[in-house]
Structure 1
Amino acid sequence: MCTHGDTPSHDHSGQSRRGFLRNAALAGAGAAAIGVGAPALGVTPAAAAAAADTAQSGKTGPWRPDATALQFTLAVMPDTQFLYWGSQDSVNRTPQEESFRYIINNSGTPDNNIVFMVHLGDLTEDADPSSFEEVDKAFAMLDAHGAGYSVLAGNHDVSGDDSRGDTPYLRTMGPQRFKRAKTFAGADPTGYNTAHIFQAAGMSWLVLALDWRTSDQGFAWANEVIKANPKMPVILTSHDIVASPYDDNVFPYESGDPENNAVLSGYGQTVWDKLIKDNDQVFLTLNGHYWPPGRMTSKNDAGNDVHMHITNYQNRYFGGGGMIRLYHFDLVRNTIDVETINPWILAQAPESRTKLAAEHARITGPVDNFSVPIDFDERFAGFRPIPVRPSRPAAKELVKGTLAYWRFDGQGAPGSALAAGRTIRDLSGKGNDLTVVTTPGTAADALTWSTDHHPDQPGHASLKFVGGRNPLHGAYLTTGANAPLNAETFRSGYTIETFVSMPLDWDAGNNGWASILSRRGSAGSAGKQGKNTDPNEPVVQFAISNNGREPQFNHYPLNDTYPTTNWGHGLVELKWWHLAVVNDGRYTKLYVEGAPVADNPNRVSVGLTSLGLPWLVGGHEYAGKTDIVFHGNIGDIRIVNRPLSLGEFLTAE
């Protein structure tokens, strides 16, 4: 940040605008793809020497980010200006180079998987050519290892806007530097605004690195780049976008919402108006310049969140010491976890660190370490819709050994009720059709057709059950009295699969222990006794417990007098879950979303006890009487007389 407001510390006008544009040329293959120009300036001298320098240290590994992993990290380096003040003979590349070494060595690692780095400007304090000579040597380490990165000019590197022409910054860090970079996608005609594309989580991400003062021409170029890449999420970097309205001595919580403790600067408002608000692809902006760090979230014109962050540590020990912010993207957890570290200090032996250095190895304040929840699919849906997996014909799901397959698509209008006596056909052709049964006093719409379904479910429909126990109400389904499935004992193994979802009004007391699928006939009537035996419970029940909505498969096997019980973890509401029980003839395992649960007993459990009575879908009996009806949605159900592999599940490709 300039110590005198927004006034540039130096004015280096360079060559004339006309002469500069006369020499403009494409900046590489990426620029040609976008259709923009950049100055053909000389190649920097330090790249060749860097390979020897880093090889000599023996501590820098290969650049190898994993472009397919759903967890990856974006490294952010803010203002490093106090390390480069050549006109004052004050230069120290070591902290920045140590951060670069950390970034390279942590590319592709399971814990970090750093895929790209952005620098936020103010590389130097004085914009002196001698300072940029040293900056060149530091960044040559990244070049020598093929690391993906972007850089931009801050107010200590240049003056005026991006029409300024030639400068030491442009000669050193201009688009010619990236001509061999795989991530470089082009530059505008001035060379001060660049575009970069990195690969992560199996998709392309666009980084725009804009000058600290972008002209209308620069904004027009940036808009065209976004338009040319309409399906890419965009991370916008510039030196000045949002500012901190509080000082270092004010704890962020005292200044208001800790998640919105920054404000648009005057120039940041211009960036918002001319580039951000109309481009839904821009979901994250990063800038330095101001301190302390802060962040804010604003809604764009599409009604979606744009997260805007300041990160800057130049006012801290050793001018920040090349400190970096790590943005850990997790597309499984739908979260960005942010941490701030100093690799230069972390590389020092702990016993050799000064107290001040030790305090700055990791910055752990609320504006430095935090998490940003983002449903990436939902946030990017406006420009990158997730393909909907099409429904699959029932015939494709009739694997060898299928005894029953029930699904609920194409049989009724969404929201319409299923009356008592309505039949749902068994698509396996084995004759295990289901019939609707209603409990006394049940509302007409207690069981309805629904188009809601698990994204990997073959049938794009489900049944919505509105049931409970206090008082007993709802409708369920049952196999016929003579259905072949009633007598099946599954001595050689079995697989039972289904899909379920619970609503927000699911209640442990009223809805807990309701069965998705159960088999009539009590344990006592089947002669079962011993530990954990309840003589009044069904011989087979696949239920949702009252303790955190945990799936439970409780069954009485043929080879024992007491039950085997498989327990899963808590299932959140409003989310579809695929549940599967697999028995290989000896052991039974419960799977949730294809993952085995922790509580799968290691005891031999052969087959399923049968009294020749019907199976119930959504119903449960206790002591021979219906005592509770399921509350939620149930999708496809398939029962097979052999163990299936994960690749044979209904969710398989």
Structure 2
Amino acid sequence: MERRNLLRAAVAAPAVPLAATVLGAEPATASSAKFDTHDPRFALAVLPDTQYLFDADSADPAPLRATFKYLLEQRAEDNVAFLTHLGDVTEHGTEQEISLAGTTFKAIDGRLPYSVLAGNHDVSSGTDDQRGDTPYRKVFGPDRFRRSATFLGSSADGYNSAHRIAAAGREWLILALDWRISDAGIAWARTVLKQNPTLPAIVTTHDLAYADDAGQAYLSGNGQRMWDKLIKDNDQIFLTLNGHYWPPGRTVLKNAAGHDVHVHITNYQDRYYGGAGMIRLYHFDLVRGRIDVETFAPWFLNRDAGKRTPLEAETIELTSDVDRFSLAIDFTSRFAGFAPPVLPAPRPAAQVVDRHTAAYWRFEGDVEKVKDLSGRGNDLTVRRLTANDRLTVSTEHHAGAPAHSSVRFDGGSGRGALLQTAANAPLNSMTFLDGYTFETFIKLPEPFEGKHDWMGIFSWEGRSGDAGKHSGWSDLEPTCSLNLSPERFLQYVLYTADGDHNPTSWSHALPVGVWHHVAVVNDGKRSVVWVNGSKIARNPTQPSHGVATTGRPFTLGGTSFDLRYDQSFYGWIGDTRITARALRPEQFLPAGHFR
């Protein structure tokens, strides 16, 4: 069963310089070596109030031991980066309880980075972080974490800590704040944020929000103070996690920059066996732009299903809207205010053209005549279907495209403009018997308005019947074309140079409003269509050798029928390259963008 966990960051008090920290994996062990800092998917584990497991002579740390064992065993599968405890480790904060908890946590020391913060049951509830020494600070203070590679530092009082983790190819900051942070503590937290201005931050504390029975969360009195003095004006903070209250709940608040801050309450001490060491896993997925959340108890999960008691079976996993849910977050745009994305610089044509390149076009200047940068003379010029049709050069582009521009086509039924090679261009008659790769970047407008059924992306003009091909839908369709169906499925139609074969590939429905890289690769035996670095499902296995051509122009932005064009493309087309050999995915124009 797949599970997940993760996340945190760190720093030191304003009164003392931040400790120099080398980021990377924690000390090399068989367990820690399994975490992948570059995988765009990782997990943050959240552990709320465990106080009833450390309650004087009724203490039972077995559930927490099972949770730690589970996290260590599953760390590689779920790519767990970090574990954060939300306070109320113990019931009374006595030396005996704290000592037992500290011993239990030794199972993950040096094996899984984590943070702990004080709840009102761990320290005197009438004090803030200036309370001085306590059994809690002796065991869970800064000294415990100094050797951890993710520990960034702590406030001078020792009750607030900061942790910096490397995950998904970037760094993240986690603030673990005392249940009653003082003004000095807040000043320290602000300093941590200022000293790490580009790191997305998560605030963890014990008391920040509570929820009603429907799961709607509201800031508590202490939470409102933290919001006003720390969270609201620091755009880096995008998520807060707290325990203390039950039932669990969540809400989304707008900060001063107008951006979302997700506020979540996690606490299961009211559940069977004091929550039984139940954890919540936040699965960050920077590819999909989501955080998927699940809540379960490893102690019960590992029991023989046939021997679980009714209460164990009931508590093994929680699936309400506040326990199992998904958050849609465009991480790039959400973090752009403090960490603008660094886009790759445009690449000169010389870097993407070689002796096998049959044609390469990019759209940076005069769109009336687009030069073939391969040097083979396959320049494109505009052909208008009606007198007023225009093409527009745009700065819109795929993040992995060599050029940071594209051409906007605004075609529709009976109108539009195309780009075509000249009547004598070498490309018109090429048959690619040794294989080929056709590549382009496309983006469909959002909203996708109007009628654009079977619009063409590129094609070789000509009638398949004139090439002696009669196996397809019509002798009047072109010999090779890449089109979009009414359902936005890519359709690659080919009449091969040898024989009367008509292999046709189909993709999934392409989303609108985002860029896609499309590559058609033929190794001399078979054609395979790729979208965004992934093979599509419906690639036929029938033989596909070369391209039948009739010597008529290559067309970008349209597909003819009986030598006539009913419409042109609707959307953006970026860099387009034709290579007279089969390329591997790592050789495609995005140059590693999909890895």
Measured against the shorter chain, the TM-score band is over 0.9
Alpha carbons of structure 1 residues 62 and 645: separation in structure 2 relative to 1, 3 Å: closer
CA distance in 2, matches of 1:619, 1:357: 62
Select the residue among 13, 16, 28 that pairs with 1:35.
Answer: 16
CA distance in 2, matches of 1:32, 1:292: 34
Alpha carbons of structure 1 residues 62 and 282: separation in structure 2 relative to 1, 3 Å: closer
- Give the structure-1-normalised TM-score: 0.85
CA distance in 1, matches of 2:447, 2:337: 30
- In the TM superposition, what is the alpha-carbon distance from 1:468 to its structure 2 partner? 1.5
SS of residue paired to 1:620: coil
* Count of aligned pairs between the two proteins: 572
Deviation string 1:474-495 (CA, Å, 9 cap, x unpaired) is 1112111111111111111111
Select the residue among 363, 385, 389 that pairs with 2:340.
Answer: 385
Alpha carbons of structure 1 residues 403 and 177: separation in structure 2 relative to 1, 3 Å: same
* Displaced runs of 4 or more, over 3 A: 29-38, 60-64
Partner of residue 408, structure 1: 363
Deviation string 1:430-481 (CA, Å, 9 cap, x unpaired) is 11111111113x535x321111111111111111111122xx0111121111
- In the TM superposition, what is the alpha-carbon distance from 1:308 to its structure 2 partner? 0.8
Work out whether 1:117 is the aligned partner of 2:83.
Answer: yes
Alpha carbons of structure 1 residues 205 and 37: separation in structure 2 relative to 1, 3 Å: closer
Q: 1:320-339, aligned counterparts within 5 Å?
A: 320-339=275-294
CA contact (8 A) 2:501 2:544 kept: no
CA contact (8 A) 2:13 2:154 kept: no
- Give the residue type in structure 2 aligned to 1:208: L
CA distance in 2, matches of 1:485, 1:290: 70
CA distance in 2, matches of 1:34, 1:201: 32
Unaligned runs of 5+ in 2: 1-9, 20-29
Work out whether 1:481 is the aligned partner of 2:426.
Answer: no
Work out whether 1:158 is the aligned partner of 2:95.
Answer: no
Larger Rg: 1
CA distance in 1, matches of 2:535, 2:397: 22
Partner of residue 381, structure 2: 435
Work out whether 1:560 is the aligned partner of 2:516.
Answer: no
- In the TM superposition, what is the alpha-carbon distance from 1:560 to its structure 2 partner? 2.4
Partner of residue 365, structure 1: 320
CA contact (8 A) 1:468 1:629 kept: yes
Partner of residue 37, structure 2: 67
Partner of residue 107, structure 2: 141
Alpha carbons of structure 1 residues 242 and 36: separation in structure 2 relative to 1, 3 Å: farther
Alpha carbons of structure 1 residues 229 and 314: separation in structure 2 relative to 1, 3 Å: same
CA distance in 1, matches of 2:31, 2:572: 52
- In the TM superposition, what is the alpha-carbon distance from 1:64 to its structure 2 partner? 3.4
- In the TM superposition, what is the alpha-carbon distance from 1:395 to its structure 2 partner? 2.1
Q: 1:578-617, aligned counterparts within 5 Å?
A: 578-617=517-556
SS of residue paired to 2:337: coil
Work out whether 1:533 is the aligned partner of 2:460.
Answer: no
Q: 1:27-106, aligned counterparts within 5 Å?
A: 31=12, 35=16, 64-86=34-56, 89-106=57-74
- In the TM superposition, what is the alpha-carbon distance from 1:179 to its structure 2 partner? 2.1
Partner of residue 53, structure 1: none
- Give the residue type in structure 2 aligned to 1:526: A
Deviation string 1:41-88 (CA, Å, 9 cap, x unpaired) is xxxxxxxxxxxxxxxxxxx966732222111111101011111121xx
- In the TM superposition, what is the alpha-carbon distance from 1:523 to its structure 2 partner? 1.5
CA distance in 1, matches of 2:14, 2:133: 25
CA distance in 2, matches of 1:478, 1:130: 82
CA distance in 2, matches of 1:223, 1:116: 22
CA distance in 2, matches of 1:381, 1:369: 28
- Give the residue type in structure 2 aligned to 1:617: L
Unaligned runs of 5+ in 1: 1-28, 39-59, 253-260, 413-417
Work out whether 1:239 is the aligned partner of 2:206.
Answer: yes
Deviation string 1:230-282 (CA, Å, 9 cap, x unpaired) is 121111100011111x23xxx44xxxxxxxx1011111011011111111111
- Give the residue type in structure 2 aligned to 1:513: W
| Aligned residues with identical type, % of pairs | 48
SS of residue paired to 1:275: helix
CA distance in 2, matches of 1:279, 1:486: 58
- In the TM superposition, what is the alpha-carbon distance from 1:628 to its structure 2 partner? 2.0
- Give the residue type in structure 2 aligned to 1:483: A
CA distance in 2, matches of 1:30, 1:292: 32
Partner of residue 277, structure 1: 232
SS of residue paired to 2:191: helix
Select the residue among 557, 565, 570 that pairs with 2:509.
Answer: 570
- Give the structure-2-normalised TM-score: 0.93
CA contact (8 A) 1:62 1:105 kept: no
Partner of residue 24, structure 1: none
